[in-house]
Each structure stands twice: as structure tokens, then as C-alpha cells.
Amino acid sequence: MKILRTILAAAAAFTMVAPAYAEYPDKPITLVVGFRAGGGSDTAARILATEMESILGQKLIVENKGGAGGAVATEYVRRQKPDGYTIGFAVATTFAFTPLTGNVAYTADDVDFVATTHGYRTVFASPKDATFDDWAGMIATAKDRGWLNYASIIPLDRAIIKYIGNKEGIEVNIVPTRGGAGARQAVLGGHVDLAFSGSNALPMYEDGALKVVAALNPEGIAEHTSIPTLSNLGYDVAASEAAVFFGPKDMDPEARAKLESALEEAVKSEAFRDFVNNKFRGFETFQDGAATAASIAEDAVAYQELLAAIKE
């Protein structure tokens, strides 16, 4: 009996001193947003962060590390511990297109994707007083002159307009701008013939402040079916853009699964759906981490073909 009591006492003592492994998450999570504070992408990320706090029972601390279309944030996040306590928010082209430019050290294989939470709509906009009303008129005007003034935002839209310019035999004069707001100001001021814009241009189009002559996202604009996609116009190019959550490579499987599940629930909230559909003017879509990785890989192949075409 004495031996048995000794064994039981030793077992009890071991139980008391053995480390207790906490269930994820047991402390705040840092969400690194790859865009400036106050913009549409930042707002979406913060709404989702608030929803996730309720679901996960932990605070999400949002940090903005804007620059290079999400590349600055990606470089930071991929160097953190893969324990699920530092995650990032960027866009699909941060991984599908930016690495192809040779300007960053990472590839899509250097991170783990958690989920895609919503889609973006992108368009080509022109001044309201332009002499043309549609894409065909814009091309005819540019061909007659031999050149086109174009306000660009990101490397991808410059590659697309260069592809179109090569195909149509039009010289494209790139007018550098500071983000979407700068490009839209160039259009509103009549300083360019055409500009790349996010869905922020749609309310201006509806108010008659500018013209929208084409949609770059392959889905088109559901509420404005008269706006053609580039595919409709005969160009085998598009700009597929979506919001992407990711983490460092080899993330803890439990953490990754819980984050994915939390995001799947968060995107269903009324606050987020209202923002995406009515304020951001994007579109609802959700993909888990595996589907996100597959979609980005598919986009990367298409963008490689685009870059090869404009080098010919």
C-alpha cells in the first residue's frame, strides 16, 4: 500500500508541474494590412478583424504596412513565426503577378494562404467630356492620333494596357499617378484619355462624372451589363483581383484551420456584406486556403503569358 501511495503521489505531483498547452488562440493576433489606413482594403480588413475577435475570443491588432501593392506587408509577415499570431492581408496579384516582375524576393510558395474573403472590380475610366462614348470610340480616337494618354496605378494594369496598345498599334503614354484617387483625378480633370480604377469609379459613372468603357475583372459589372469585359472586346487578358489572408510558410495546422473557419463565418456578417456590396462595390466570394492557392497559381500562369506577349 505504501508503494502504491508513493506512485500515486508522484503521479499527482507530475500532473501539477507538467506544462499545460493552451488552445489556439490564447493571446492577441496581429493582422498586418498591406495597404494604407482608411482605404477600402483597410476598412474591409478591419471589419473582418472585429468579426473574428468575437468568433475567436481574442483581440486582433491591426497594423498597416502599405507599399508595393501588398509586397511590403508580405515580406514582413513571411519572416514571422508560423504560429498563427501574425497574419497578413493583401490581394491576389501580390502573389500571382508581383513576383513575376522580379522586384520582390518572395513567391507564392513562401507563404501559407488562409482564405479569400471578397472580390474586387476594376475598370477603365475616361473623362465625361471625351469625344468618344465607348471602347470602340476610344480606340478609334487613339488610332487616329496614334497615341493614348493613360493613367496607371500598378504594374499589372500597365502590362495590360501595353498588351492592348501593341495589339491595336497605339502608342501608350503612361501618366504616373498616386493610387486610385490620383488616377481618377486625372480623369475628372480631363488630363488623360483613359485610367485604371477600382470600383470607386462606379458611383462617379452612375452620377455622370466620368465614363466607364470596359471592365478588367473577368466577372464584369453585374449591375451594369452594358459595360463590356476585355474578353467581350476580343482581348485574352483580365485582372482577377481578390482579398487574401495569409501567414508565414508552414503555419501551425490548428491555427490555420481556426483562422480559415473564423473568416468563413466572418464574411457572412451583415456589416461585412453591406460594406462589400454597397460601399466597396466589390463582390462576395469565399475560398479556403487550398482553393486560394490554386486560384493564384492559375492566375500566375495567365500573367506569365501576358508578360511574354508584351515582350514579343
Q: What residue ranges of the chain have pLDDT lower than 50?
A: 1-4, 6-11, 13-20
CA distances from 120 to 92, 96, 110, 280, 282 (A): 10, 15, 24, 8, 5
Q: Write the pLDDT tens digit of every residue in 27-71.
A: 999 999 999 999 899 999 999 999 999 999 999 999 999 988 899
The cell for 139 is 480606340
List the beta bridge partners of residue 215: 123, 229
The domains spanning 29-120+241-311 and 122-215 adopt the same CATH topology? yes
Nearest to 122 by CA among 215, 192, 40, 44: 215
CATH of 29-120+241-311, one of 3.40.50.300, 3.40.190.150, 3.30.300.30, 3.40.50.970: 3.40.190.150
Neighbours of 237 (CB within 10 A): 21
Domain extents for the chain?
29-120+241-311, 122-215
Residue 22's pLDDT is what? 78
Residue 178's pLDDT is what? 78
Residue 4's pLDDT is what? 44
| CATH fold for the domain made of 122-215 | D-Maltodextrin-Binding Protein; domain 2 (3.40.190)
Residue 51: phi, psi to the nearest 5? -65, -40
List the beta bridge partners of residue 112: 247
Residue 21's pLDDT is what? 57
Residue 180's pLDDT is what? 83
* d(C-alpha 311, C-alpha 91), whole Å: 25
